[in-house]
Amino acid sequence: MILDKMRLDGKVALVTGASRGLGRGMALGLAEAGADLVVVARSLERLEGVVGEARALGRRCLPLKADVSREEEVKKMVEEALGEFGRIDILVNNAGINYREASEDYPLDEWERVLSVNLTGVFLCCREVGRVMIRQGGGKIINVASLTSVIGVKTIPAYSASKGGVAQLTKVLAVEWAKYNIQVNAIGPGYFRTDLTEPLFQDPERREWITSRIPMGRWGTPEDLKGAVVFLASEASDYITGQVLFVDGGWLAG
């Protein structure tokens, strides 16, 4: 039955950037579908909330501290996850940062910092977990892309470049790892109210312009990503790979 294929019982999902916002929402969606969790952030204290909610659902949940832009920390993260659960079935690469500035004034150090987390971090996590999934005989990787993977938005050149890279990396890995039964896809969120977008939301002019461009007439919430992430993590999506699923309230269709 198709609904049975959406269940994630017995699966282990590793979610980066899971302490708040979209990462927290996706992690809890996976837990609601039956998965045990490894939740990762740069602060263990910030993970206390999502850990408590996951365990209240009856799931095992391991919190880990890691900076995904650092190779040695990513390797340690994977080792600790395997030490606790013995396997990783699902990887959600959500960790990301942003910096806003006019491109002509954009500092090189901020450019490099954003790229190191948003793109290099995704590559490192995919590489290390991909090795595990190859040995296991399969797995699901879900990267978090963005509307800015395919459209231009002013004052965020590094973020946009990084998310364009995430979309392209998703395709490369999907092609390369299909023979190992690893499906690699991405979710492209539209405008969601999170810590990263709060400066936009607090600017009345920008908020109204953005809202007017969304056919559904509202910004997304973390709850709106649960269905997409569970679908891409489940057996129901076994013949889907190399795709970016945009969850944008109709923005790109307008």
- The candidate with the shortest Cα–Cα distance to 83, out of 32, 12, 28, is 12
- The candidate with the shortest Cα–Cα distance to 185, out of 224, 152, 234, is 234
Phi, psi for 12 (deg, rounded to 5): -120, 125
- The candidate with the shortest Cα–Cα distance to 153, out of 107, 206, 194, is 206
Largest CA distance in the chain: 55
Which distant-in-sequence residues (6+ apart) come within 8 Å of 95 by Cβ?
Answer: 16, 17, 23, 40, 41, 68, 117, 118, 121
204, 210, 211, 213 alpha-carbon torsion, rounded to 10°: 150
Q: Does 159 qualify as catalytic in the annotation?
A: yes
Q: Which of 106, 159, 180, 239 is catalytic?
A: 159
Q: Which helix (H) or strand (E) holds 81?
A: helix 71-85
Q: How far is Cα 95 from Cα 219, in angstroms, rounded to an integer?
A: 20
The residues annotated with a catalytic role in the active site are: 159
